[in-house]
Amino acid sequence: MRIGPWSLPNPVFVAPMAGVTDRPYRKLCKRLGAGYAVSEMAASNPRLWDSVKTSRRLDHAGEIDPIAVQIAGSDPAMLAEAAVFNVEKGARIIDINMGCPAKKVCNAAAGSALLRDEALVARILESVVRACEPLGVPVTLKTRTGWDRSHRNAPRVARMAEDIGIAALTLHGRTRADLYQGDAEYDTIGEVKSLLKIPVIANGDIDSPEKAEYVLKYTGADAVMIGRAAQGRPWIFREVAHYLASGAYLPPPTYGELRSCLLDHLEDHYRFYGEFTGVRSARKHIGWYLAELADSQALIASINTIESTREQTAALVRWFDHRPADGPATRRVPQRLAA
């Protein structure tokens, strides 16, 4: 699997998730087997580039190449400028987001709202590809199957994107109107794959090695991208990649492995966000890691009230001290992924 000049180690990718796949989490997912990671969406509006949130998203120190940055917006010239700016900050691949149904993004006619205006989509893609071509940086597109179920225009948009010079396409098997409801469908992804020569990455509701194998076979896609199922479960990438390569299952992590994975993650997280934001933004990750483990509810409740990183870590260490380091930290696979 290649994106432009970049050859990727395996076809199991971590999906961009704003507020989740920050630099510490992307690094962790790659260390635990993800073949590729795209940063959370960065604003294309230059007025926002100095905000603390955007500056954090522009910080790629220590990330494993290729660094891929996602941009979102609706103004072709502004998006081209944002692409070049991100390349100057270290991006080696630029991904354009036309998949986000969030009100904040869609109301400004960006994200998946763009699917309603194919002429504007063409102008955006041309503008960004033209800006990145001289820099040797491939441009990719992430989108949904259409605006709503009666307007599934992904096949037309995908062909246009390939003609314009997009290097790879990620398709989430839902329409904008679906939000995260219902099941992702893979027929449109299969249709798009059959129309294109560029790599197609299938996304939506992939939460296990078997599901990844099924989606790859059903759609013929070149890779899968996993989002919500990787929350609190960064080792899912090595599990899926190993199964796809060998047909064999890896054992679940032990409590000892989970403990060092979580504590290493938190150390990097605190360093990245600092004390005040770090302790608060770590809570959701800790909740995800522990949610489905036995006897974790009281700990999760207490973590949500602790206000210092040192105490947050200490509470976790005390909990893990009472678990067998070699015992499997088995989790139930969620029945339905929560958005």
Ligand X SMILES: Cc1cc2nc3c(=O)[nH]c(=O)nc-3n(C[C@H](O)[C@H](O)[C@H](O)COP(=O)(O)O)c2cc1C
Three-state secondary-structure class, residue 309: helix
| C-alpha atoms less than 13 angstroms from C-alpha of 124 in its C-beta half-sphere | 29
Phi, psi dihedral angles at 215 (to 5 degrees): -65, -40
Q: Assess whether the previous peptide bond of 66 is cis (omega < 30° from 0).
A: yes
Smallest distance from the beta carbon of 171 to ligand X, in angstroms?
9
C-alpha pair distances (Å), 117 with each of 48, 73, 98, 312: 25, 13, 11, 48
Smallest distance from the beta carbon of 98 to ligand X, in angstroms?
8
- CA atoms of 304 and 289, how far apart (whole Å): 14
Q: Is 18 known to sit in a ligand binding site?
A: yes
Q: Is 312 known to sit in a ligand binding site?
A: no
Smallest distance from the beta carbon of 124 to ligand X, in angstroms?
15
Q: Is 228 known to sit in a ligand binding site?
A: yes
Q: Is 227 known to sit in a ligand binding site?
A: yes
Smallest distance from the beta carbon of 143 to ligand X, in angstroms?
9
Which CB atom, from 20 or from 241, has the smaller least distance to ligand X? 20
Instruction: Give the start-end residues of each E strand in the chain.
Output: 2-3, 6-7, 12-14, 36-43, 68-72, 93-98, 139-144, 168-172, 200-203, 223-226
Which CB atom, from 49 or from 260, has the smaller least distance to ligand X? 49
The string over 57-94, giving b where at least 16 C-beta atoms fall within 10 Å of a residue's C-beta and e elsewhere, is bbebeebeebbbbbbbbbbbebbbbbbbbbbebebbbb
- CA atoms of 115 and 339, how far apart (whole Å): 21
Q: Is 89 known to sit in a ligand binding site?
A: no
Q: Sign of the C-alpha dihedral, residues 215, 11, 263, 90?
A: negative
Among 100, 106, 132, 261, which one carries the catalytic annotation?
100
Instruction: Give the bridge partners for 328, in sequence order.
Output: 254
Smallest distance from the beta carbon of 170 to ligand X, in angstroms?
8
Which residues contact ligand X (rule: CB under 6 A)? 15-20, 40-41, 70, 97, 99-100, 142, 172, 203-206, 226-229, 337, 339
Smallest distance from the beta carbon of 320 to ligand X, in angstroms?
27
Strands 6-7 and 2-3: antiparallel
100: annotated active-site residue: yes
Helix 118-132 with 154-164: angle, nearest 10 deg: 30
Three-state secondary-structure class, residue 207: coil
State the residue number with the nearest CB to ligand X: 227
Which CB atom, from 236 or from 306, has the smaller least distance to ligand X? 236
Contact 67, 36 (CB under 8 A): no
Q: Is 107 known to sit in a ligand binding site?
A: no
Which CB atom, from 171 or from 306, has the smaller least distance to ligand X? 171
Q: Which two tokens stand for residue 216?
A: 């790859």
Q: Is 204 known to sit in a ligand binding site?
A: yes
Which CB atom, from 201 or from 262, has the smaller least distance to ligand X? 201
Three-state secondary-structure class, residue 332: coil
Which CB atom, from 20 or from 157, has the smaller least distance to ligand X? 20
Report the binding-site residues.
16-18, 70, 142, 203-205, 227-228
Report the binding-site residues for FMN.
16-18, 70, 142, 203-205, 227-228
Q: Name the residues annotated as catalytic.
A: 100
